[in-house]
Amino acid sequence: MENLDVMVLRTLRNWRQSGKRALLATVVRTWGSSPRPVGSIMALCEDGAVVGSVSGGCIEDDLIYKHTQAYAKNDMPSGAPAFVKYGISAEEAHQFGLPCGGTLELLLEFDPDPAALDELVTALERGQLMQRTVRLRDGVVSLKASASPENLVVTDVQLVNTFGPEYRMLLIGAGQLTEYLATMALFSGFAVTVCDPREEYRGAWSVANVRVTSDMPDDVVAAFKPDRRSCVVALTHDPKLDDLALLEALKTEAFYVGAIGSRRNNDARKQRMVEHFEQTTESLAALRGPIGIYIGSKTPPEIAVSIMAEILAVKNGVKLPRDMDVAWAKNDLAVPANDPGDLVCGVPKRAG
């Protein structure tokens, strides 16, 4: 599954190039709880077709109703963009399904220029990070390449939003666990590449829409050029394949670099890297392992869930309980708690 923003912008471009009227809605501010973050976009066509999301469904329904009615009456707004707020009162929050009285503000752009949309989509399809600036007094759009992702900024004069290519995931090893993780990554919006020089694993690969390569993993990492929208995960348990690739990935801006294995295996891996590759504790600090959030997983799909959850949490800037010692979690799970005196807040007390 491709990046949602690219899908929205491409669909909007196609509508406009075919002569249809349409609008682009962007979440520009939120107060309290909000179903979608600032920067989320949605496109609405004159015939009621919609792509993207600004609220998860509730506000979309209102926008569709109001603007398809306006289109039908030939009374659709045009010209300068307009701001609209939803969820200002508790009653509106309940009506539109906003949680905890949350409020959000949208910027609506009417009939965006198809030529500017085409330029933006073409750049994004080439993998270029792009900054899109909308002048609020008349809706005129300017575009320029961006060196790094930036948060949306809105002032009295303009809105600036950065659109990037999809997040990318490079998986080392083409085994069963990789198939489950690749599948989850695809429907989470990642472009997935799998590297495995072993024909016996690579030949059985069955997940569509994944690039599979047989080159050596460290060479693949170098060619992949991980950036801040990339993650690299080693899943082979084979030091000959994993170690050099991980070291190559640690030189990059990848937001997540990790390897499967137990704590003992992870410690042994780091020791090898220190002894044979002149690494230090500091140079290996970004290497994650064991990977995944502890959920008691045993099967490949359960392990993939735990790994994907951790990757998404890191991507979204969520502090993880890895931080919560996995060993303690395992001990707590194993200790019977029949005596109420052995419980603290409903969980077994930790020894010591």
Residue 198 belongs to domain with CATH number: 3.40.50.720
Q: What angle do CA 95, 100, 102 make, to 5 degrees?
A: 70
Statement to judge: residues 65 and 172 lie in one domain = no
More confident residue, 77 or 291: 291
Considering the domain architecture, whether residues 35 and 48 belong to the same structural domain is answered as yes
pLDDT for position 348: 40
Is 255 in the same domain as 130? no
Q: Identify the pLDDT of residue 189.
A: 80
Same domain, yes or no: 274 and 142: no
Q: Please list, in sequence order, all residues whose beta carbon lies within 8 angstroms of the beta carbon of residue 276, skipping any fewer than 6 positions away.
A: none
Residue 352 is predicted with a pLDDT of 37
Domain that holds residue 10: 4-163
Instruction: Reduce the DSSP state of residue 169 to 3 states and report it.
Output: strand
pLDDT of amino acid 35: 66
The pLDDT, as a whole number, for residue 350 is 38
| 285 shares its domain with 183 | yes
Please state whether beta strands 103-110 and 82-86 pair in parallel, antiparallel, or not at all (unpaired).
antiparallel
Mean pLDDT, range 187-200, rounded to an integer: 91
Q: What residues have CB less than 8 Å from 115, skipping those under 6 apart?
A: none
What pLDDT score does 96 carry?
59
Percentage of the chain with pLDDT > 90?
58
Domain boundary among 135, 163, 191: 163
Residue where a domain stops, chosen among 163, 197, 232: 163
Domain count, the chain: 2
Q: What whole-number percentage of the chain has pLDDT above 70?
A: 84
pLDDT band with cut points at 50, 70 and 90 for residue 341: very low
Three-state SS for 106?
A: strand
Give the pLDDT band of residue 327 (cuts 50, 70, 90).
Answer: very low
Residues 45 and 76 in one domain: yes
Q: State yes or no: pLDDT of 315 exceeds 50.
A: yes
Within this chain, do residues 125 and 241 fall inside the same structural domain, yes or no? no
Mean pLDDT value across residues 95-112: 78
pLDDT higher than 50, residue 148: yes
Domain final residue pick, 123, 138, 163 = 163
185 and 248 belong to one structural domain: yes
